[in-house]
């Protein structure tokens, strides 16, 4: 019997991260469900996975805290024997014009999105086994330049650069490193505070004329993390239904 693959997924208590964790588990991977503060939501994800016959454990970690992240990887190794897949889905988003951007909000966003990505990628670079995969989450707004996304898109531009550089630094390790950049995706976080006309307008942007779903994004991540994605490396995959 081949060794079970083990995935660490941050931001896995809700939204896209949750769906990624559940989908990886459905593909047979043991999953560490990383979460920042919602222990109840993370426990629900673990319950969903184990009820379906999978293996999972929830671990609280602020991704920008290198000690907490190291402890999360320690748990993956002690509970399941190692780490093969790392998906950094944890993120923070504040939307406002650049002229009105509160610098404390900018610092908080960059702490989670930039420092957090560095911390998780650093740990992944040290621990992921040969044959493994690392996936970060960016945003298609890096290319679309929507107003009010200045601070957020800046942080995700850093995510893309860092991810692609790590792919080159891991030469010879047989580890793929990619980033997935979703377009508008119907999560609780995305829909919050938006009126129906705004949602309808965003849904019309892609040629496919709908919002993405967490399942759409999770399926792309699982492809990159699985045997079918082994020849995709050092890429930004814009999963957005064809928005230009």
In a domain, 62, yes or no: yes
- CATH of residue 233's domain is 3.40.50.720
In a domain, 226, yes or no: yes
Number of domains present in the structure of the chain: 1
For residue range 129-139, list pLDDT tens digits in order.
Answer: 999 999 999 99
For residue range 27-36, list pLDDT tens digits in order.
Answer: 999 999 999 9
- How far, in Å, CA of 31 to CA of 9, rounded? 7
Residue 165: both structure tokens together: 């550089």
In a domain, 118, yes or no: yes
Catalytic residue list contains 152: yes
In a domain, 40, yes or no: yes
Name the active-site residue from 35, 118, 152, 190: 152
In a domain, 157, yes or no: yes
For residue range 155-164, list pLDDT tens digits in order.
Answer: 999 999 999 9
For residue range 6-35, list pLDDT tens digits in order.
Answer: 999 999 999 999 999 999 999 999 999 999
In the chain, % of residues over pLDDT 70 = 99
Q: Which of 168, 164, 165, 139 is nearest to 154 (CA)?
A: 139
Q: Give the confidence band of 1 by pLDDT, cuts at 50, 70, 90.
A: very low
Contact 178, 224 (CB under 8 A): yes
**The pTM is what?**
0.95
In a domain, 204, yes or no: no
User: What is the pLDDT, as a whole number, of residue 2?
Assistant: 62
User: What is the pLDDT, as a whole number, of residue 158?
Assistant: 97
In a domain, 198, yes or no: no
In a domain, 148, yes or no: yes
């Amino acid at each position: 019997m081949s060794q079970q693959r083990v995935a660490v997924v941050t931001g896995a208590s809700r939204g896209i991260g949750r769906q990624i964790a559940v989908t990886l588990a459905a593909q047979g991977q043991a999953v560490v469900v990383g979460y920042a503060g919602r222990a109840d939501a993370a426990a629900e994800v673990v319950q969903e996975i184990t009820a379906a016959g999978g293996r999972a454990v929830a671990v609280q970690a602020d991704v920008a805290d290198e000690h907490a992240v190291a402890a999360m990887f320690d748990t993956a190794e002690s509970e399941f024997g190692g780490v093969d897949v790392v998906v950094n889905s944890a993120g923070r988003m504040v939307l406002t014009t650049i002229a009105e951007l509160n610098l404390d909000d900018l610092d908080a966003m960059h702490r989670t999105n930039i420092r957090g990505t560095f911390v998780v990628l650093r740990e992944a670079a040290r621990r992921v086994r040969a044959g493994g995969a690392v996936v970060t989450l960016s945003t298609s707004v890096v290319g679309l330049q929507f107003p009010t996304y200045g601070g957020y898109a800046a942080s995700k531009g850093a995510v893309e650069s860092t991810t692609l550089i790590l792919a080159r630094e891991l030469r010879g390790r047989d580890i793929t490193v990619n980033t997935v950049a979703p377009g508008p995706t119907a999560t609780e976080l995305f829909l919050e505070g938006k009126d129906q006309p705004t949602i309808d307008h965003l849904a019309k942007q892609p040629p496919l004329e709908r919002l993405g779903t967490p399942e759409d994004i999770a399926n792309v991540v699982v492809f990159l993390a699985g045997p079918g994605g082994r020849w995709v490396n050092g890429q930004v995959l814009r999963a957005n239904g064809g928005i230009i």
